[in-house]
Amino acid sequence: MQENNEHIVRVGDLDLWAEAFGDSGHPTVLLVMGAQAQGVQWPDGLVRRLVDGGRRVIRYDHRDTGRSSTVDFAAHPYTVADLASDAIAVLDDFKVERAHLVGASLGGLIVQRLAVTHPDRVLTLTSLSSQPLGTDTAAAVRRVMEGTPTPPGELPPPAPELLAALAASFPEPGASLEDYLAARLPLWRILHGPVLPFDEEEYRTLERRAYTRARDLRAGLNHALAGAADPGSAADLAAVTAPTLVVHGTEDPMFPPAHAEATAAAIAGARLVMIEGMGHTLPASAHDRLAEEILRHTGRRP
C-alpha cells in the first residue's frame, strides 16, 4: 500500500506531527532532524530518492518545532532522552517494530541514544553531520565566546562566525516573513560552507516553509537546553551493536570532521563517509550521494 499521510502522535500531553511516504511493506527509515529544525527540513528530494530506492520513510516534527506541541521549558524541562522517547512513540504510532534510524546533528545524538537504550528497535544507525554522545557543546561554545583555547584532547568547537550568525538568526516575535528570511539566510550561507555553490532560493524555500508551519519559531531554542542537561556519554557507544554509518561534510562549521571521526571510532565496525565540500546542511547537490550511502547501508542484511 502506498503511503503519503500525516499523523498526529500523542505523547502524554504533547502532539507530534509526523508524515510517512512509500510502501508500508518496505523497510522503514526514520529521519530524525536536528535542533530547532522541523521534519520537513529533511528535503523532499532526498525523501523521494529513498522511497524510490525501496524504503518507507517517516519524518516528524520534534516537540517545540513545526506543527508539534510547544513546551514551557521552565515548568516542564526535558532532555535528549525525552526526545529519543518521542522518536519511539512515532515508531509505535506507525506500528513499526524495528527501523533504520537516520539522525542529523542533534538527531544524530538522538539516534545514537536509541541504539544504546533500545537496540531491539534499531535495524541500522546512521549518524549524519553530528558528534559523539557526551560531547559538551555548551562548554565548547562558551570557550569560543570567551576566547579560551580548546583543551588538549577536546573536539574542536563550532566556528566563531557561525556562533555570531546563530546569535543573530532569530528576529523578534511577530517578525514578517521577509524580516525572518533576512535574519536566517546569513546563517545558512555559513552552515552551507564555502565550497559547494550556494543556491539562495533553495534555502529561502526551506525557511518559508518553516515560517508558515511553526507554532512558535523560537520554541526550538529549548533544544539547546535539553542537550546541555543530558549530553550522555561517549563510553555508552561501545555498547552499540547496530550496523553504523557515520556521514559528514568536510566543510562542516558546526561540528568539524574530527567529530565524525570520534563517533566512528567509538562504535565498533562503524563506517565513516566524508562528503567533499558539504557543510552542515543537506543541499540538493548532495542528495544523490546521501541517498546512495543511506540506501547502501540500510540495504545490508543483518
For the question of residue 280 being annotated catalytic, the response is yes
Distance, CA of 271 to CA of 300 (rounded, Å): 13
**Options 68, 69, 85, 105, the catalytic residue:** 105
Whether the Cβ atoms of residue 131 and residue 147 lie closer than 8 Å to each other: no
For the question of residue 100 being annotated catalytic, the response is no
CA atoms within 13 A on the CB side of 196: 26
Output the CA–CA distances (angstroms, integers) from residue 289 to 64, 241, 243, 278, 292, in the order listed: 30, 25, 19, 11, 5
**Options 64, 82, 86, 252, the catalytic residue:** 252
**Options 100, 192, 223, 280, the catalytic residue:** 280
For the question of residue 52 being annotated catalytic, the response is no
Distance, CA of 19 to CA of 28 (rounded, Å): 12
**Which of helix, strand or coil describes residue 89?**
helix
- DSSP secondary structure of 256-268: -THHHHHHHHHST
Positions marked active-site: 105, 252, 280
